[in-house]
Amino acid sequence: MWTKFHRSYLTDGCWSPARPAVFFTSRMDGCLDVWDYMFKQNDPTLSLQVCDEALNCLRIQDSGSLLACGSHSGNVTLLELSESLSQQQRNEKASVTQIFERETKREKILESRYREMKLKERAKSQQEDRAPEEDGENPEELVAEADKNFWFTVEQEKIGIEKKEKAAEQ
């Protein structure tokens, strides 16, 4: 899960104590973003311009119905959240757990694919590094090997001819 690029830096964030699928982020441009994974996963459900200066911190009440936003100049804005953001929905906790487990598995699969690709690239580069060494063997060694093979073949031919001559004499 990831978000789209935004020019303004995030300054703080907190999870809702009442709703496992809801969290809040504050930005340098004074906006508060409300994220609800049960509704949208890649975009904020709600973006609210709280003030014209940077929001530096967020604190949410234990019951999850009040949210305090602190600005750069020290101003605090207290927001009352609607029931849909402060009361847990049916099966929400199980659904959020499934979402995060699925994302964890996806991340592991992507990491293993990345490692596999790196290993393939490394093996390919090592083969390419070895190939010039094999092709570029010392010419003297190649001549010596060819000479050795030639004389071995000549000796085998001589032995074959001698056997034929002995067989013809008998």
Which tens digit of pLDDT belongs to each residue from 115-148?
988 998 888 888 877 655 555 567 778 787 888 8
Which residues lie closer than 8 Å to 23 by C-beta, 6 or more apart?
13, 14, 15, 16, 35
Q: What does the pLDDT read at residue 137?
A: 66
Report the candidate in 123, 89, 74 with the shortest Cα–Cα distance to residue 19.
89
Confidence of residue 151 (pLDDT cuts 50, 70, 90): confident
Q: Per DSSP, what are the bridge partners of residue 33? A: 25, 47
Query: What is the pLDDT, as a whole number, of residue 77?
Result: 95
Q: Is the pLDDT of residue 13 over 70?
A: yes
* Structure tokens belonging to residue 34: 């409300």
